[in-house]
Structure 1
């Protein structure tokens, strides 16, 4: 993900959400204060990725109030800070094993918080980290590299655009070595999107009293990601799919 280190993330444009599985007006706060979302920003993320996730969370129908958390942020990632949040988001980053070395000290706090009712969102690397090889062990199953699977349409880790089916609708999205999710057939989960191989590309699942929402491609990507990677953004920007992931995760009904 080196090509995104210098990105300056702009606002994600609003896109019509017809055919998605959530209502366009959130009732999460009941008319009260905006719910808090913590977004990790630190050595287990790539510059630009936390900011893009924050933009998505602020513009989704639940209109989250976002604070960055991490070892060099004003808010530390801890049991106490998680207790104040509705959502914890783990954005994209580099390789899994180095990222896990930075994140494993927080694993117990994140696990306990989700299982007690919190909502975990994982984008790309954050999706890998939802698994257990290594990771937080929140996913009902495991993760794998899409690019390493038989018949994958993308077989290298370059930034690219990939075709998926989101709620059965074909779309093309920004992608860079994202995970697929190997789900335990005994565990309940909602598959929002699949790769062209049929493997899950976006999943929402319960975890104790909480929920997790994970995605391999990047619905949070804006035009600057495409420009930096010299890719065509036309028709490939999909913040509405990020909204679907978020709202489906946080609304447990």
Structure 2
């Protein structure tokens, strides 16, 4: 495939962009991956992109990233034909990275069934600190440190942690907010909030930017890069 023949020494990252995402979400993930020291060769993939989402394109990639989007049921309708290709890619040693909707899609009802368990709405959990589906800010504890992140009806992960899973972050009620877990020979990294969210996301939603965050970058970029490094490890 021509798009991967010029820089074969760099790991290829495919970022989904299409009807199962929302404008700005794929671009934020691509910007995040560009900031990683992994040296990714980044390409958008999807039905209207130069790189189709298929078994052939995934076979030439190291990482597939599923960004945020609209509703789970609608997104899955657009992606269900690629379910087995994505499962085969990860099971064979590839890496899956899911943000918000991409985290939901890593689950099974419906989804790609890449997790040792499933996903559900954080807002419906007991003692959830957020009850609205609207854009807001949520507190998480990431590797023991309290942080505030952009949030829009993201999932929590009801998964078996005795299967080699690393829990990176929890919500205040201890529900899992971010984790990395094995799937076959590959690894799956998922996060419910949006650590990749750029400052304009907060501005457009009328939200106050978290205190102490760099106004020129994604306020959770260090956390998002931690997730990238964790899913690429091993």
The alignment's TM-score, normalised by the length of structure 1, stands at 0.85
- Please give the per-residue CA displacement for 1:80-126, whole angstroms capped at 9, x wherever unaligned: 00011110000000000011000100000000110000000000000
Q: CA deviation at 1:34?
A: 2.4
Match of 1:247 in 2: 229
Matched, 1:218 2:194: yes
Whole-angstrom CA distance in 2 between matches of 1:93 and 1:130: 14
Q: Name the structure 1 match of 2:125.
A: 149
Equivalence for 1:235: 212
Equivalent-residue separation in structure 1 for 2:181 and 2:108 (angstroms): 15
**Mean Cα deviation higher: 36-45 or 228-237:** 228-237
Query: What is the distance in 2 between the residues matched to 1:243 and 1:185?
Result: 22
* Residue 39, structure 1, aligned to residue 15, structure 2: yes
Q: CA RMSD in A?
A: 1.0
1:179 and 2:161 matched: no
Q: CA deviation at 1:238?
A: 1.2
* 1:193 has 2:175 as partner: no
1:108 is aligned to 84
Rounded to whole Å, the distance in 1 between the matches of 2:133 and 2:222 is 25
Whole-Å separation in 2 of the counterparts to 1:157 and 1:35: 36
| Residue in structure 1 matching 2:93, options 94, 117, 134 | 117
- Contact 1:172 1:235 (C-alpha < 8 Å) held by counterparts: no
Question: Residues 36 and 66 of structure 1 are in contact (CA less than 8 Å); yes or no, is this contact kept in structure 2?
Answer: yes
Question: Post-superposition shift, 1:138?
Answer: 0.3
Q: Do 1:192 and 1:204's aligned partners in 2 also have CA atoms closer than 8 Å? A: yes
Q: Distance in 2 between matches of 1:57 and 1:84?
A: 17
Structure 1 residues 50-91: Cα deviation after superposition (integer angstroms, max 9, x where no partner): 000000001012131110000010100000000111100000
SS of 2:141 mapped into structure 1: strand
Partners of 1:187 and 1:128 lie apart in 2 by 19
**Where does structure 2 lack aligned partners over 5 or more consecutive residues?**
1-7, 214-218
Q: Which moved more, 1:137-146 or 1:180-189?
A: 180-189
The structure showing larger relative contact order (alpha-carbon pairs under 8 Å, at least 6 residues apart) is 1
SS of aligned partner of 2:68: coil
Structure 2: distance between partners of 1:66 and 1:172: 28
C-alpha deviations, 1:153-193, integer Å up to 9, x for none? 11011111110000011111111100000012542200000
1:202 corresponds in structure 2 to: 178
> Which stretches in structure 1 are left out of the alignment for 5+ residues?
1-31
Task: Kindly indicate whether the alpha-carbon contact (under 8 Å) linking 1:194 and 1:202 is maintained by their aligned counterparts in 2.
Answer: yes
